[in-house]
Amino acid sequence: RKWPGSPVPDGALLLRTVRELGGAVAVAEVLTRSGTTRTRDHLINIGNWISYDEANALWDAASEVMHHRRLARRVGAEAGTQLAGSHVASALRSLGSPEEVYRQLVTTTAKYSTIATIEIVDLRPGVTEIAVRAVAGYPRSVHLCDWVIGLFSQPPVLFGLPAAEIVHDACAAFGAPECRYLVSWQADATAPVSAAEIDRLQRELGSMRERLRGMFDTAAD
């Protein structure tokens, strides 16, 4: 089962974190315990996808090897940190506020995710609530939820704010009908942005979506 945007985002960040914490020996142990037939080079190549089951096996193995139950949360936050240092960060900051970044994040994910539906339940300055419901055949896992929590904590950091606080009381991995993430941050510290900047960013994000759609079409072929 192919999973675009798996909880191991191309595998690179997970293995990079394991290497930072435990070195090359830990990476080798993770690969062995997971039972994957992929090489390290394959997993760290951002152009490669892996299946949902392979992703969860890697998460399980990495958590065991590193003795870190919340390793996925750290990796999710690291994904946000990587984004903050990329060329995409300035475009996202041009949206003007973390709430607009969350809006775009959910909108884009909803279009391309094959393993879950995602929607914004509430969105206002300083607070958003996001609901995620698993697609049949792709049950939510604790590791995936932790990765999402780490990722959702980072948009405020793009604006020089502390990471968001995440409350995840309803979790489908533990039997809830859907996952709910209540995200809060310091809304009063963000700077206003002009309508022209927002319009420019919307065009840029549209172009990015088209490139992403083309990538998926090529992969399907």
Distance CA 205, CA 194 (A): 17
Contact 75, 150 (CB under 8 A): yes
One-letter identity of residue 2: K
H-helix segments, the chain? 12-34, 40-44, 52-66, 71-84, 88-93, 98-112, 142-152, 195-220
Buried b (16+ CB within 10 A) or exposed e, 13-29: bbbebbbebbeeebbeb
Q: What's the confidence (pLDDT) of residue 221?
A: 67
Residue 18, both tokens: 């394991």
Q: Which residue has the tokens 């960013």?
A: 201
Q: What's the confidence (pLDDT) of residue 6?
A: 44
> Using N-to-C axis directions, what is the helix angle for 142-152 and 52-66, rounded to 10°?
80
Distances (CA, A) of 157 to 4, 8, 14, 168: 26, 22, 21, 20
> Using N-to-C axis directions, what is the helix angle for 195-220 and 98-112, rounded to 10°?
20
Distance CA 124, CA 65 (A): 40
Mean pLDDT per 10-residue section of the chain, whose length is 221 residues: 42 88 95 92 82 90 93 88 72 88 89 89 96 93 93 91 95 96 84 63 75 75 67
Of 159, 149, 160, 157, nearest to 182 by C-alpha is 149
What does the chain come to in residues?
A: 221
Q: What's the confidence (pLDDT) of residue 214?
A: 76
Residue 48, both tokens: 């490669």
